[in-house]
Chains A and B, each alone.
Chain A
Amino acid sequence: MEQSIVERAQNVFRDIFSNPALSITPSTTAKDIEGWDSFTHITLILAMEREFKVKFGLGELQSLTSVGDLLTLIEKKNA
């Protein structure tokens, strides 16, 4: 996975979870980040859509519970 994607995503995560020290890896899941609930999930997905200029479908929303899944899908969509 490209480092720049992880870094860009990390900035989005830090912004959404209001935590400047937050660091993410592809194996980070919803359970690892405090406050990653259904509300923030949607806010996060929308912020990712804006940052990476992609659109997620309904079927994709449900399964995006780890950073790795999210970034892989973004890479696939931008390929």
Chain B
Amino acid sequence: MVFVSEIFLFYFLPLVLLVAYFLRRKSVILYLGWLSVASVVFYSWETPFYFLLIVFCVLSNWFLTSRMHQSQDATLRRSLFLGVLILNVGMLIFFKYTKFLATNFNQLTGVFGIQLFDPAFGVGRFINNIVFPLGISFYTFHLLSYAIDLYVKKITPARTFIEFVCYVTFFPQLVAGPIVRYSEIQKDLGRPETNHVNIQAGTVFFIIGLAKKALIADSLAPFVNCVFDGGGTGSGLLTLLGTVAYAFQIYFDFSGYSEMAVGMGLMLGIKLPQNFNSPYKSKSVTEFWRRWHMTLSFWFRDYLFFPLSMRYLSAGNTELNRYLPVLIVMVLIGFWHGAGWTFFMFGLIYGIALIAEDVLIFRKKKKTSAITQIWFWCVMLSAYILFRSTDLKAAGGVFHTIFFNLLNKSFFHDVKSLPLDALIGGALIAPVAWMVLFQKNVYEMDKRLTLSKAILLSVLFIVSVYFLLARDYIPFLYFQF
């Protein structure tokens, strides 16, 4: 089930909220139990296989982490911890990267005329048929953070099995984050505050998130698709505008999703962490990664960058030891988004840019400025070209068009041949740029409802739903990751 569907907005969510508010007065366990059942139904609604998958994930992780926590024997504790890590990372690799690895292996052995994993039969066919389950990149990261935090004794274990199930499966954050750490919601799970302050704030978050997706991201999509798909355009300027539009589309799509999730969390008394903090106001790439998909970048920082850096720098305070962990982490962040070389390059570009900024700006104690802001936009747009392109060749074509045909005559011709919805998308770039660069984000707004705000939000909700239902369904972009 997806947030932007009729069944979710008009049947599932109202029913979940009504029953939840009724049960909240009875007991917390019943409340969490109901949310867990609703979450599993939400996840496996269209694909029953997901039911088995999520049940397996929850049960195996609960069993292993509970045993690990209870164990007095350090060796057993460590073995169980390694078991949980292998289980979750293994699941992610199996579902997300096996096909990519097999294809690359085939290309490598193809040099000698051998194709080891023939997609037509045997193991190759099995690998070719692996289907990527929705949300697995997100919930395996929840589970990993739980296991690690429990192992290093940063958290105490979930008080009950139901609480653990609810932590992992809680439907607002299950399929596309925010990536939640248990410590962030442990208190709320023990005592969910479903008061009017939270419900009001949650409604504001939810409607603004919905509007970001329905009115802005989906309106930019036709323009972006015209520029990137089906042969694209020969105009460099139009391609550049398409890349800018994509930057806005992905931000409004993903931050819209995250804010709907945060909103529903608040309505249910569970405060999910902030995922975006006006990322395009950043004046450097470094600042951008503190503001963009924050729960992912902080996850990698805390669980991978810090330990790797500690290990490397303990061995010697050299430039290599300082910067190698950044490259490793950024490449892994790239690969986290997808199994492909475009994602590898996406991560590599960001890794190199972060190192360059540390060397040229931050270690020299220089201030960020309009110039560093332009540099940040160049890096970000280059990374988005890789992110959006199907393969490196296509990305190369886009770069070539932008650099060598920036001001050629095909611009006017190509604009004239754009369909109306794409033209509207293109025209939105300027007002959307003004919004992301100069306007407050939803976290900075006063979320107490007045009559005029309530009317405005109601209109926004109705218009957003109208647009969602009138248009063909455009999936949330981050579902593919």
A interface residues, Cβ below 8 angstroms from B: 18, 34-35, 37-39, 41-43, 45-46, 57-63
Q: Is the CB of A63 within 8 A of B154?
A: yes
Having A38-B305, A59-B153, A61-B302, one finds 10 other A-B pairs with CB under 8 Å, namely: A37-B286, A37-B362, A38-B306, A39-B326, A39-B358, A46-B310, A58-B148, A59-B149, A59-B154, A61-B310
Bound: A70/B301 CA distance, A: 19
Q: Is the CB of B152 within 8 A of A57?
A: yes
Residue B447 CB within 8 A of the other chain: no
Q: Residue of A at shortest CB range from B149?
A: A59
Residue B314 CB within 8 A of the other chain: yes
Q: Is the CB of A42 within 8 A of B306?
A: yes
Q: Do A58 and B153 form a contact, CB below 8 Å, given A42-B313, A43-B317?
A: no
B322 contacts which of A39, A41, A61 (Cβ < 8 Å)?
A: A39
* Chain A residues whose CB sits within 8 angstroms of the CB of B303 once the complex forms: 58
Q: Is the CB of A58 within 8 A of B322?
A: no
* Chain A residues whose CB sits within 8 angstroms of the CB of B358 once the complex forms: 39
Q: Is the CB of A42 within 8 A of B362?
A: no
* Chain B residues whose CB sits within 8 angstroms of the CB of A45 once the complex forms: 310
Bound: A61/B305 CA distance, A: 11
Residue B365 CB within 8 A of the other chain: yes
Bound: A41/B286 CA distance, A: 15
Bound: A49/B26 CA distance, A: 50
A-B contact pairs, 12 of them (CB 8 A): A18-B365, A38-B301, A39-B322, A39-B326, A39-B358, A42-B306, A42-B309, A43-B313, A45-B310, A58-B306, A61-B302, A63-B154
Q: Please name the 9 residue pairs, one residue from A and one from B, whose CB atoms are nearest each other, closest first.
A: A59-B152, A59-B154, A42-B309, A62-B302, A61-B306, A58-B152, A58-B307, A46-B313, A38-B301
User: A5 to chain B: closest CB distance in Å?
Assistant: 22
> Binding site of A, secondary structure by majority: helix, strand, loop or mixed?
helix
Within 8 A of A (CB), among B305-328: 305-307, 309-310, 313-314, 317, 322, 326
* Chain B residues whose CB sits within 8 angstroms of the CB of A59 once the complex forms: 149, 152-154
* Chain B residues whose CB sits within 8 angstroms of the CB of A57 once the complex forms: 152
User: A30 to chain B: closest CB distance in Å?
Assistant: 11
* Chain A residues whose CB sits within 8 angstroms of the CB of B149 once the complex forms: 59
Bound: A25/B305 CA distance, A: 27
* Chain A residues whose CB sits within 8 angstroms of the CB of B154 once the complex forms: 59, 62-63
Q: Residue of B at shortest CB range from A61?
A: B306
Bound: A59/B322 CA distance, A: 21
Q: Do A35 and B365 form a contact, CB below 8 Å, given A43-B313, A58-B152, A59-B153?
A: yes
Q: Residue of A at shortest CB range from B301?
A: A38
User: B20 to chain A: closest CB distance in Å?
Assistant: 32
Bound: A39/B309 CA distance, A: 8
- Over the window 327-359 of chain B, the binary record of Cβ atoms lying under 8 Å from chain A Cβ atoms (1 yes, 0 no) is 000000000000000000000000000000010
User: B203 to chain A: closest CB distance in Å?
Assistant: 31
Bound: A50/B63 CA distance, A: 39
User: Which of B286, B307, B309, B322 has the most chain A CB atoms inside 10 A of its CB?
Assistant: B309
Within 8 A of A (CB), among B259-286: 286
User: B256 to chain A: closest CB distance in Å?
Assistant: 28
Within 8 A of A (CB), among B137-154: 148-149, 152-154
Bound: A38/B307 CA distance, A: 12
* Chain A residues whose CB sits within 8 angstroms of the CB of B301 once the complex forms: 38
* Chain B residues whose CB sits within 8 angstroms of the CB of A58 once the complex forms: 148, 152, 303, 306-307
User: A19 to chain B: closest CB distance in Å?
Assistant: 9
User: Which of A46, A57, A58 has the most chain B CB atoms inside 10 A of its CB?
Assistant: A58
Bound: A35/B313 CA distance, A: 18
* Chain B residues whose CB sits within 8 angstroms of the CB of A39 once the complex forms: 309, 322, 326, 358, 362
* Chain B residues whose CB sits within 8 angstroms of the CB of A41 once the complex forms: 306
* Chain B residues whose CB sits within 8 angstroms of the CB of A62 once the complex forms: 154, 302, 306
Bound: A39/B286 CA distance, A: 11
Bound: A32/B205 CA distance, A: 30
* Chain A residues whose CB sits within 8 angstroms of the CB of B314 once the complex forms: 46
* Chain B residues whose CB sits within 8 angstroms of the CB of A37 once the complex forms: 286, 362
Bound: A42/B325 CA distance, A: 12
User: B3 to chain A: closest CB distance in Å?
Assistant: 31
Within 8 A of A (CB), among B207-258: none
Bound: A73/B100 CA distance, A: 45
Bound: A42/B358 CA distance, A: 14
User: B368 to chain A: closest CB distance in Å?
Assistant: 11
Q: Residue of B at shortest CB range from A19?
A: B365
* Chain A residues whose CB sits within 8 angstroms of the CB of B310 once the complex forms: 42, 45-46, 61
- Over the window 148-162 of chain B, the binary record of Cβ atoms lying under 8 Å from chain A Cβ atoms (1 yes, 0 no) is 110011100000000
Bound: A57/B310 CA distance, A: 10
Q: Is the CB of A34 within 8 A of B365?
A: yes
* Chain B residues whose CB sits within 8 angstroms of the CB of A60 once the complex forms: 152
